[in-house]
Amino acid sequence: MKTRPMQIVALVLLAVLLAGCPKPILKWEPAEAEETTPSEAAAEENPRAAAALQLTGQGRRLLEERKPDKAIHALEQAVSLDPTNGQNYYYLSEAWLMKGSAPQAKEFNHLAEIHLKEDNEWMIRVAQQADRIAELEK
């Protein structure tokens, strides 16, 4: 099929317009860039934090598999080993969202906000998560 120049322009315009649209915020997508496997050096330096990171990774994978109860179990263990890692609170909030519990999701989102405030990328996710919690509360 031969494509007309006007069709190409229209497709390009559509692509540009869609690129400018905010991403839908109601669906959680795991971030690819997250590194939750501890290095050997880090594990040696702080074995508790290293073990916590492994559990964080496990919790995230369980969320991807949509197993919130098991994810909560892993993430709570991660929090008890390293309560300073804000990602655990973010994922816990995600798990409670998946279970449909806005009050718990809200408390953990608040903690994630406190602990991740210095990371702009994470703060965007935390803000989007807060929006989704607000949606659930409606």
Cα 20 to Cα 32: distance, rounded to the nearest angstrom: 21
Q: Is 72 in the site for another protein (CB under 8 A)?
A: yes
One-letter amino acid of 53: L
Q: Is 121 in the site for another protein (CB under 8 A)?
A: no
Q: Is 110 in the site for another protein (CB under 8 A)?
A: yes
Q: How many residues bind another protein (CB under 8 A)?
A: 18
In the complex, what is the shortest distance from the CB of residue 123 to another protein, in angstroms, rounded to a whole number?
A: 11
- Nearest Cα neighbor of 87 from 30, 24, 39 is 30
- Nearest Cα neighbor of 68 from 107, 96, 109, 33 is 96
Cα 46 to Cα 73: distance, rounded to the nearest angstrom: 22
Measured from the CB atom, is 13 or 48 closer to another protein? 48
Q: Is 104 in the site for another protein (CB under 8 A)?
A: yes
**What does the binding site for another protein look like in residue numbers (CB under 8 A)?**
47-48, 69, 72-73, 76, 79-80, 83-84, 92, 104, 107-108, 110-111, 114, 117
